[in-house]
Amino acid sequence: MFTGIVTTIGRVVAVEDRTDQRRLTIACDDDPGTIAIGASIACSGPCLTVVALGGVAGDMWFSVDAAAETLARTTVGSWGEGTRVNLERSLKIGDELGGHIVTGHVDGLAEIVARSEVTAEETGWGATARFDLRVPAVLARFVAEKGSVALDGCSLTVNSVEGDVFSVLLIPHTLAHTTFGDKGPGERVNLEVDLMARYAARLVEARE
Protein backbone atom coordinates (compact mmCIF):
# COMPACT_ATOMS: atom_id res chain seq x y z
CA MET A 1 0.00 0.00 0.00
CA PHE A 2 1.26 3.49 -0.91
CA THR A 3 0.15 7.12 -0.86
CA GLY A 4 1.48 8.39 -4.19
CA ILE A 5 4.02 10.70 -2.54
CA VAL A 6 7.31 10.12 -4.36
CA THR A 7 10.30 10.09 -2.00
CA THR A 8 13.18 9.88 -4.45
CA ILE A 9 14.06 9.30 -8.10
CA GLY A 10 15.95 6.17 -9.04
CA ARG A 11 17.82 5.28 -12.21
CA VAL A 12 17.82 1.95 -14.03
CA VAL A 13 21.43 0.75 -14.21
CA ALA A 14 20.94 -2.78 -15.55
CA VAL A 15 18.27 -4.78 -17.41
CA GLU A 16 18.22 -8.54 -17.80
CA ASP A 17 15.52 -10.15 -19.92
CA ARG A 18 14.47 -13.66 -18.97
CA THR A 19 11.67 -15.98 -20.11
CA ASP A 20 8.40 -14.08 -19.55
CA GLN A 21 9.99 -11.64 -17.13
CA ARG A 22 12.56 -8.88 -16.80
CA ARG A 23 14.97 -8.13 -13.96
CA LEU A 24 15.82 -4.48 -13.41
CA THR A 25 18.47 -3.04 -11.14
CA ILE A 26 17.77 0.47 -9.91
CA ALA A 27 20.22 2.83 -8.22
CA CYS A 28 19.01 5.40 -5.71
CA ASP A 29 20.15 7.39 -2.67
CA ASP A 30 18.35 5.37 0.02
CA ASP A 31 20.05 3.46 2.82
CA PRO A 32 20.18 -0.30 2.04
CA GLY A 33 19.99 -0.96 5.76
CA THR A 34 16.38 0.22 5.74
CA ILE A 35 15.24 -2.12 2.95
CA ALA A 36 14.81 -5.88 3.24
CA ILE A 37 14.68 -8.57 0.58
CA GLY A 38 10.99 -9.05 -0.17
CA ALA A 39 10.10 -5.42 0.49
CA SER A 40 7.63 -3.70 -1.83
CA ILE A 41 8.64 -0.52 -3.65
CA ALA A 42 6.48 1.43 -6.07
CA CYS A 43 8.59 2.05 -9.18
CA SER A 44 6.87 4.72 -11.29
CA GLY A 45 3.57 3.15 -10.32
CA PRO A 46 3.90 -0.65 -10.30
CA CYS A 47 4.48 -2.28 -6.91
CA LEU A 48 7.61 -4.44 -7.35
CA THR A 49 9.36 -6.78 -4.92
CA VAL A 50 13.01 -6.34 -3.97
CA VAL A 51 14.92 -9.55 -4.83
CA ALA A 52 18.48 -8.27 -4.28
CA LEU A 53 20.16 -5.13 -2.96
CA GLY A 54 23.54 -3.68 -2.08
CA GLY A 55 25.67 -0.57 -1.89
CA VAL A 56 25.99 1.98 0.89
CA ALA A 57 23.81 4.78 2.23
CA GLY A 58 23.43 7.48 -0.39
CA ASP A 59 24.63 5.16 -3.16
CA MET A 60 22.66 1.93 -3.15
CA TRP A 61 20.96 -0.35 -5.66
CA PHE A 62 18.15 -2.89 -5.59
CA SER A 63 16.82 -5.39 -8.10
CA VAL A 64 13.21 -6.24 -8.93
CA ASP A 65 11.56 -8.74 -11.25
CA ALA A 66 8.70 -7.72 -13.55
CA ALA A 67 6.50 -10.58 -14.78
CA ALA A 68 4.60 -10.82 -18.07
CA GLU A 69 1.44 -9.12 -16.72
CA THR A 70 3.43 -6.10 -15.52
CA LEU A 71 5.34 -5.89 -18.80
CA ALA A 72 2.06 -6.00 -20.77
CA ARG A 73 0.14 -3.40 -18.73
CA THR A 74 2.83 -0.87 -17.80
CA THR A 75 5.77 1.05 -19.21
CA VAL A 76 8.27 -1.26 -17.48
CA GLY A 77 8.88 -3.17 -20.70
CA SER A 78 10.25 -0.01 -22.33
CA TRP A 79 12.68 0.87 -19.54
CA GLY A 80 16.37 0.68 -20.33
CA GLU A 81 19.64 1.68 -18.73
CA GLY A 82 19.40 5.34 -17.71
CA THR A 83 15.59 5.42 -17.37
CA ARG A 84 14.59 7.55 -14.37
CA VAL A 85 11.81 6.19 -12.15
CA ASN A 86 9.76 7.61 -9.30
CA LEU A 87 10.21 5.62 -6.10
CA GLU A 88 8.04 5.27 -3.02
CA ARG A 89 8.52 2.88 -0.13
CA SER A 90 5.47 1.02 1.16
CA LEU A 91 3.28 2.67 3.77
CA LYS A 92 3.82 1.89 7.45
CA ILE A 93 1.13 2.04 10.12
CA GLY A 94 1.33 5.53 11.58
CA ASP A 95 2.80 7.17 8.47
CA GLU A 96 1.22 10.37 7.20
CA LEU A 97 -1.28 9.74 4.40
CA GLY A 98 -0.21 12.68 2.28
CA GLY A 99 -1.75 11.67 -1.04
CA HIS A 100 -4.46 9.04 -1.46
CA ILE A 101 -4.65 5.25 -1.12
CA VAL A 102 -2.56 3.74 -3.92
CA THR A 103 -2.14 -0.01 -4.36
CA GLY A 104 0.63 -0.10 -6.94
CA HIS A 105 -1.61 -2.13 -9.27
CA VAL A 106 -1.52 -0.27 -12.58
CA ASP A 107 -4.78 -0.27 -14.55
CA GLY A 108 -3.40 0.89 -17.89
CA LEU A 109 -1.49 3.57 -19.72
CA ALA A 110 -2.36 7.23 -20.19
CA GLU A 111 -0.85 9.22 -23.06
CA ILE A 112 0.27 12.81 -22.58
CA VAL A 113 -1.38 14.76 -25.40
CA ALA A 114 -0.36 18.27 -24.37
CA ARG A 115 1.79 20.14 -21.88
CA SER A 116 1.48 23.86 -21.26
CA GLU A 117 3.61 26.02 -18.97
CA VAL A 118 2.52 28.74 -16.60
CA THR A 119 5.57 30.86 -15.81
CA ALA A 120 6.70 32.02 -12.39
CA GLU A 121 5.85 35.59 -13.43
CA GLU A 122 2.27 34.55 -14.15
CA THR A 123 1.76 32.61 -10.93
CA GLY A 124 3.83 34.88 -8.72
CA TRP A 125 5.40 31.91 -6.92
CA GLY A 126 6.80 29.36 -9.36
CA ALA A 127 6.50 27.67 -12.72
CA THR A 128 3.55 25.29 -13.04
CA ALA A 129 2.77 22.79 -15.80
CA ARG A 130 -0.60 21.57 -17.04
CA PHE A 131 -0.68 18.08 -18.54
CA ASP A 132 -3.57 16.84 -20.67
CA LEU A 133 -3.75 13.05 -20.86
CA ARG A 134 -5.88 10.60 -22.83
CA VAL A 135 -6.95 7.35 -21.17
CA PRO A 136 -8.49 4.18 -22.62
CA ALA A 137 -12.29 4.46 -22.80
CA VAL A 138 -12.73 1.58 -20.36
CA LEU A 139 -10.87 3.59 -17.68
CA ALA A 140 -12.22 7.06 -18.48
CA ARG A 141 -15.35 6.48 -16.39
CA PHE A 142 -13.20 6.17 -13.26
CA VAL A 143 -11.66 9.64 -13.69
CA ALA A 144 -13.64 12.49 -12.14
CA GLU A 145 -13.01 16.21 -11.74
CA LYS A 146 -11.39 16.90 -8.34
CA GLY A 147 -10.87 13.17 -7.89
CA SER A 148 -7.50 11.46 -7.50
CA VAL A 149 -5.34 9.48 -9.91
CA ALA A 150 -1.86 8.02 -9.64
CA LEU A 151 0.34 8.76 -12.66
CA ASP A 152 3.75 7.09 -12.70
CA GLY A 153 3.27 6.63 -8.98
CA CYS A 154 2.42 10.29 -8.24
CA SER A 155 -0.83 11.14 -6.45
CA LEU A 156 -2.43 13.94 -8.45
CA THR A 157 -5.76 15.77 -8.40
CA VAL A 158 -7.81 15.78 -11.60
CA ASN A 159 -8.31 19.37 -12.72
CA SER A 160 -10.78 18.83 -15.57
CA VAL A 161 -12.32 16.03 -17.62
CA GLU A 162 -13.62 16.05 -21.17
CA GLY A 163 -14.49 12.66 -22.61
CA ASP A 164 -11.42 10.45 -22.43
CA VAL A 165 -9.05 13.38 -21.80
CA PHE A 166 -8.31 14.82 -18.38
CA SER A 167 -5.86 17.38 -17.05
CA VAL A 168 -3.66 17.73 -13.98
CA LEU A 169 -1.63 20.68 -12.72
CA LEU A 170 1.86 20.06 -11.37
CA ILE A 171 3.45 22.54 -8.98
CA PRO A 172 7.18 23.37 -9.04
CA HIS A 173 7.99 20.93 -6.22
CA THR A 174 6.40 18.01 -8.07
CA LEU A 175 8.14 18.92 -11.33
CA ALA A 176 11.49 19.13 -9.54
CA HIS A 177 11.19 15.97 -7.43
CA THR A 178 9.58 13.53 -9.89
CA THR A 179 10.22 12.47 -13.47
CA PHE A 180 7.39 14.69 -14.75
CA GLY A 181 9.78 17.60 -15.19
CA ASP A 182 11.15 15.83 -18.27
CA LYS A 183 7.90 14.52 -19.75
CA GLY A 184 6.02 15.85 -22.76
CA PRO A 185 3.44 15.04 -25.46
CA GLY A 186 3.50 11.54 -26.91
CA GLU A 187 4.88 9.87 -23.79
CA ARG A 188 2.87 7.28 -21.91
CA VAL A 189 2.62 7.00 -18.15
CA ASN A 190 1.32 4.34 -15.79
CA LEU A 191 -2.21 5.04 -14.58
CA GLU A 192 -3.88 3.71 -11.45
CA VAL A 193 -7.43 4.92 -10.98
CA ASP A 194 -8.78 5.77 -7.55
CA LEU A 195 -9.62 2.66 -5.55
CA MET A 196 -12.93 4.08 -4.31
CA ALA A 197 -14.01 5.01 -7.84
CA ARG A 198 -13.33 1.47 -9.04
CA TYR A 199 -15.41 -0.16 -6.31
CA ALA A 200 -18.20 2.40 -6.54
CA ALA A 201 -18.54 1.65 -10.25
CA ARG A 202 -18.56 -2.08 -9.54
CA LEU A 203 -21.38 -1.68 -7.00
CA VAL A 204 -23.45 0.30 -9.50
CA GLU A 205 -22.92 -2.39 -12.13
CA ALA A 206 -24.00 -5.09 -9.69
CA ARG A 207 -27.30 -3.28 -9.06
CA GLU A 208 -28.12 -2.82 -12.73
Residues that are catalytic? 2, 40, 47, 49, 67, 105, 157
Question: What are the C-alpha distances in Å from 57 to residues 24, 33, 36, 133, 152?
Answer: 20, 8, 14, 37, 25
- The whole-angstrom separation of Cα 43 and Cα 64 is 9
The helix, strand and coil proportions of the chain, stated in percent and rounded to the nearest 5, come to: 20, 45, 35
> Residue 85: exposed, middle, or buried by beta-carbon count in 10 A (0-12, 13-18, 19+)?
buried
Residue 54 near residue 32, CB atoms below 8 Å:
yes
Question: What are the C-alpha distances in Å from 170 to residues 47, 73, 106, 141?
Answer: 23, 25, 21, 22
Residue 191 near residue 197, CB atoms below 8 Å:
no
DSSP state of 142: T
